[in-house]
Structure 1
Amino acid sequence: MTKTVLGVIGGSGVYEFPGLRNERWERVETPWGEPSDELHFGELPLGDGKTVQMVFLPRHGRGHPHSPSSINYRANIDAMKRAGVTDIISVSAVGSLKEELPPGHFVIVDQFIDRTFAREKSFFGEGFVAHVSMANPVCPRLGDHIEAACQDNNIAYTRGGTYMVMEGPQFSTLAESNLYRSWGCSVIGMTNMPEAKLAREAEICYATVAMVTDYDCWHPTHAHVEVSDVIRVLEENAGHARAVIRAVATSFGPEREPSPQGLDRVLDTALITSPAKRDPALVKKLDAVAGRVLNQA
């Protein structure tokens, strides 16, 4: 058993998490540059003197200064790792690509299609190569807790679905929206890649709560997605998102067992470059992300 440190990366409309004790905002330095914002640390009371450690990061920064393409995803995940985070819940605003997923609906995503092209997608690279599996990109244990939280809070949700990640910042063309529907995608957004890939490399369990804000432009009554409509639904969803996070933290408890799928040990079989050939500068930058395995060498 290890101590639970539940990380939350809050997307549009979810910039903070009230109700924590001993809370503080703290800047975390990383070798990958500046994270989106300071990290919000705190303890969620569970009763009987028990608490769960929580770390919150506003993905776009407080006041939303960062676009999806300008977010420093590597710095964000590295900072969470340095903060001791064991599990991450990503809260993300998305458009729906299916009639049965209306605005206000939550989707507990289990797959992604990554169509981004302007972002750094790995901590590893020239001089130190590693390949982690992304066949099943989210943590099913976290998904179970999120599903139970939705049920307990009477939140309309769907378990399972493919999140199509586009570059942005513009919304889709009608042709693109229809193409993604033909692929069987459930929702579309701009932020969960490479976030999920980097969390996997950092051996942090990861799951997404996708909050539907609109039908994207494929829908005959939603031909033009407007920010004002999105923000209105975001504000309505924010309270539900916080209720889900609180319930997940409570059900997880202060201690956790290792991932049944080995998601917190993926680097055991991912490192390819032999120790003698590893770039010392890159090894140094990986002190948090890959420190568990590097310290064993």
Structure 2
Amino acid sequence: MTLAIIGGTGLTQIEQLNITGQRELETPFGAPSAPYVLGELNGQSLIFLARHGNPHRIPPHKINYRANIWGLKQLGATEIIGVAAVGGIGAEMGPARIAIPEQLIDYSYGREHSFFADDLAHVTHIDFTEPYTPSLRRRIVQAAASAGIEVYDGGVYGCTQGPRLETVAEIKRMANDGCDLVGMTGMPEAALARELEIPYANISVVANWAAGIGEGEITMAEIEKNLLTGMSNAIALLQATVLSATGG
């Protein structure tokens, strides 16, 4: 079993992680965001990918999601956890909170969102009733409970286009649609993993209240402060998830 983790470069700061190398790949869909970092923890093979590149330079709507996921498949990834900074909409989704969403709504547009697009012998549809693999979600939630890490089990992730943040009216619409979280990278990442039959789940780290939910303007200083705590807990959660799978 090989777990792939997609997120920021800081996610390789897992305690006891042994980095074993890097791999640069070219896929039928072009180059991934960055070289894949290979590692091992407690006998578990891990692959890390910096979604926005290393250094962080690729905006959400320009990420080559197809190359990223295809490359993970090439490297033998058997499950994927996507870690993402998000805005909080629901009352339970305050800054620095971690949520493990169970549903999503896609508001993005113009992205290459399927491997089944050109030169097809037949049209392919995937079942996406549950966009996040239930068994992988449960393992993350159970690992959090065992490690004493507080997470919100559930919620709806709304994926917007970016790179700008949303307006108050847009967030009101999303709230009316049932969204609890707002991010910019959750799709088509989740759907592409499903197309390649790789189990996928999301760890959302709330960086700020979404527009109109909190008071005043959203600042990068506020986001960075909340992410220090939230991402630290996310790294601990990833370690706990790996150890729970390996019996460590």
Tell me if both proteins adopt one fold, taking TM over 0.5 as the criterion: yes
Contact 1:35 1:75 in 2 (8 A): yes
Residues 1:155 and 2:149 aligned together: yes
Counterpart residue type for residue 21 of structure 2: R
Residues 1:236 and 2:229 aligned together: yes
Matches of 1:99 and 1:6, distance apart in 2:
32
2:113 to 121, 135, 141: 121
Residue of structure 2 in register with 1:199 after alignment: 193
- For structure 2, list consecutive stretches of 5 or more residues without a partner in the other structure: none
Deviations 1:69-97 (A, max 9, x none): 11100000001001100000111100010
Residue of structure 1 in register with 2:32 after alignment: 35
Matches of 1:126 and 1:26, distance apart in 2:
28
CA RMSD of aligned residues (A): 1.5
What is the number of residues matched between the two proteins?
A: 244
Residue of structure 2 in register with 1:81 after alignment: 73
Alignment of 1:58-207 (within 5 A): 58-128=50-120, 129-207=123-201
Sequence identity (%): 36
Matches of 1:104 and 1:95, distance apart in 2:
10
C-alpha distance 59-251 of structure 1, shift in aligned 2 (>3 A): same
Q: How far did residue 241 of structure 1 move?
A: 1.1
Contact 1:106 1:155 in 2 (8 A): no
Q: How far did residue 220 of structure 1 move?
A: 4.3
State the TM-score, normalizing by the size of structure 1: 0.79
Q: SS state of the match for residue 69, structure 1? A: helix
Q: SS state of the match for residue 192, structure 1? A: coil
Q: SS state of the match for residue 210, structure 1? A: strand
State the TM-score, normalizing by the size of structure 2: 0.94
Contact 1:10 1:58 in 2 (8 A): yes
Counterpart residue type for residue 247 of structure 1: A
Residues 1:252 and 2:248 aligned together: no
Q: SS state of the match for residue 61, structure 2? A: coil
Counterpart residue type for residue 200 of structure 1: R
Structure 1 runs of 4+ off > 6 angstroms? Answer: none
Q: How far did residue 217 of structure 1 move?
A: 1.1
Residue of structure 1 in register with 2:217 after alignment: 224
- For structure 1, list consecutive stretches of 5 or more residues without a partner in the other structure: 46-50, 255-297
2:12 to 16, 36, 61: 16
Q: SS state of the match for residue 177, structure 1? A: helix
Counterpart residue type for residue 157 of structure 2: Y
- Choose 1 or 2 for highest CA Rg: 1
